[in-house]
Structure 1
């Protein structure tokens, strides 16, 4: 067992420590002695992009099944144990990781750790539970499909990344959820839910050594520590990447509002230019003062929601502009989107926009770390996907150091790539090809 101090604290962060247990299980903590709550997360380095076609939807399926029961607790006892002390317990599935988390009072930390370790290491994956949760997930997919503003982002990813794991929906499809068997799900669970792929992150009023002993004891009881001296899984830093896929995908639906995403391939999360792209994104469509919001909503009243965004993965990313508008306004909206992207390429950002973008990024980072849950997420995700944990102060300095030349450079690289457009609305034969022309 080895322990290291990753950050000594003092810049608005607490002391961050990391211990690697025998078998490769990692425990990372951040002390916040002035609070009375604790957030605990069990992060598994497995996401929907790791699914082979025969396992499509298995990652999210497991998110449901792990709460259905263990030899120690049934489904009601799992939820009641945490909710009965005023806490909360839940989970989420991403493209590259899955997280099970709980937030409780600091005095109830031992119970939270015991429950999370129990569900992560000892899920029964009972055949009857697979049958019942299959129906629940199908309902979840149906609910998701009723929200065009959600579906259009999924359609954009599918069009952008094609028939690859990154392009497929995290929830799976109706066909894949109906087809996947209990044995395939159990096989997926045994293969990936192992100590070397797992990180426990805890933030709050805690003692690191006590946390480590509690987690080690919980895993030891479950027989889940694994082979001694097994190294932890390294961060996912590389992969196949992705090439731009220009084209238009129209999903015809009789909606009262048209939803669109126009964008292209972005950059990966380890690219040093991500800070410059963040400033560009903030100025272009990151808030109410951004160009897109001002032009589309404030000046012309063409839409209620208009924004741009970036997403980063180990080896690729995406940049997109989303707008929801009346179907009759879509040509005007797309023209503005193209014009604003073109203006950025031709003229760059103003000094005021650059400073406002930096301020928005700095403020968003610091304000987003005001609670134990966000601190827990930051250190847990960082341990899984980055080679090292950057301090808050270092990130703030990197944002402030972004130059105009860096912004212009990343703008010309990303915004000149072939573009993809996804549209959901009452369109059958409408030609949108002009919208993706550079």
Structure 2
């Protein structure tokens, strides 16, 4: 592959450019590089395309060797295996997992910012609004996971789907997402809508956020959200491969291999007041709003 470096670079540039032709990908790209401005986490497709011609084959080889020889390594194994045999071959090379220091800084505090791109061939508007929130391992991590389920990550039963799509007919697609990194995380709301509905959709975001900040979630809605989230957690760890992948992820994030069990235990302890307090603490006016429209 290194012998065909220039060919691979050209291929990658073409693939990223093709991806960015999608308005949905483009708004995500705009949002990411704005909410993580001047930070490693903001290296979106367009940022990569801006810098890729400066990357040499020697740079890639040096990075490859650095990762191979000096990075933190994790081996997560699930299934019916001979662990004594595995320990014999891997034990000396991969020591007991421990959290390694990270050179990536914590992102700077966020201030409200509006970004917009005109895409003349777009058929609809794409809107993303988001906030920085605590990440995996924080005390409020389970609370934000549940806010995500309640607002927009539970499909047809989520509040945003019911209000903005079913009742108001604003959305082709509407959802929330909770994306975590080691040093930060983002909670976002996305909608695809008619260009004439941009402001109405943004007002709809504001209305639903205000509700979650002022009206306590009912015990029934909270229970349903907990069950939904636990079901999702179990679904993505059904196979040995999925279990190993999840354990490796937790280890890299500085958590024990069985962190999922700890999360599930904490989910059952979340109260309506926890949700209210968390929403008020993080769903502030310091947000990023990105729009792609024709």
TM-score with structure 1 setting the length: 0.62
From 243, 247, 250, the counterpart of 1:375: 243
Match of 1:117 in 2: none
Change (3 A) 1:238 1:402: farther
The 5-angstrom pairing of residues 341-420 of structure 1 reads 341-420=209-288
From 106, 131, 135, the counterpart of 1:268: 135
Secondary structure of 2:258's aligned partner? coil
Change (3 A) 1:185 1:248: same
The answer on 1:282 being equivalent to 2:157 is no
Q: Report if aligned partners of 1:204, 1:372 keep a CA contact under 8 Å in 2.
A: yes
Cα offsets for 1:323-357 (capped at 9, x unmatched): 01111122221111111111111213222221121
From 317, 322, 333, the counterpart of 2:185: 317
Structure 1 position 173, deviation (Å): 2.5
Distance in 2 of aligned mates of 1:385 and 1:311:
13
Q: Report if aligned partners of 2:29, 2:45 keep a CA contact under 8 Å in 1.
A: no
Secondary structure of 2:32's aligned partner? helix
Q: Which has the larger radius of gyration?
A: 1
Secondary structure of 1:324's aligned partner? strand
Q: Report if aligned partners of 1:159, 1:245 keep a CA contact under 8 Å in 2.
A: no
Match of 1:239 in 2: 105
Structure 1 position 196, deviation (Å): 4.9
Cα offsets for 1:386-414 (capped at 9, x unmatched): 24233543322111111122111111111
Match of 1:178 in 2: 53
Change (3 A) 1:174 1:393: closer
Match of 2:38 in 1: 163
Secondary structure of 1:423's aligned partner? strand
Secondary structure of 2:198's aligned partner? helix
Distance in 2 of aligned mates of 1:147 and 1:137:
16
Secondary structure of 1:194's aligned partner? helix
Match of 1:199 in 2: 74
Structure 1 position 265, deviation (Å): 1.1
Distance in 2 of aligned mates of 1:259 and 1:292:
15
Match of 1:208 in 2: 83
In terms of fraction of residues, the more helix-rich structure is 2
Cα offsets for 1:182-227 (capped at 9, x unmatched): 11111222222226522232333322233344557xxx9xxxx59x
Match of 2:28 in 1: 153
Match of 1:40 in 2: none
Distance in 1 of aligned mates of 2:284 and 2:50:
37
In terms of fraction of residues, the more strand-rich structure is 1
- Equivalent pairs counted in the alignment come to 292
Distance in 1 of aligned mates of 2:22 and 2:31:
14
Q: Highest relative contact order (Cα 8 Å, sep 6+), 1 or 2?
A: 2
Secondary structure of 1:203's aligned partner? coil
Distance in 2 of aligned mates of 1:137 and 1:324:
27
Secondary structure of 2:40's aligned partner? coil
Q: Report if aligned partners of 1:311, 1:319 keep a CA contact under 8 Å in 2.
A: yes
* Structure 1 stretches lacking a partner, 5+ long: 1-67, 69-125, 427-438
Secondary structure of 1:320's aligned partner? strand
Match of 2:123 in 1: 256
Distance in 1 of aligned mates of 2:111 and 2:9:
33
Match of 1:97 in 2: none
Q: Report if aligned partners of 1:244, 1:417 keep a CA contact under 8 Å in 2.
A: no
Q: Report if aligned partners of 1:236, 1:385 keep a CA contact under 8 Å in 2.
A: no
Distance in 2 of aligned mates of 1:284 and 1:342:
12
Cα offsets for 1:108-149 (capped at 9, x unmatched): xxxxxxxxxxxxxxxxxx2x3211210121122112102221
Secondary structure of 1:159's aligned partner? helix
Alignment RMSD, CA only? 2.5
Change (3 A) 1:396 1:132: same
Cα offsets for 1:53-76 (capped at 9, x unmatched): xxxxxxxxxxxxxxx3xxxxxxxx
Q: Report if aligned partners of 1:250, 1:424 keep a CA contact under 8 Å in 2.
A: yes
The answer on 1:303 being equivalent to 2:177 is no
Structure 1 position 238, deviation (Å): 7.9
Distance in 1 of aligned mates of 2:170 and 2:119:
20
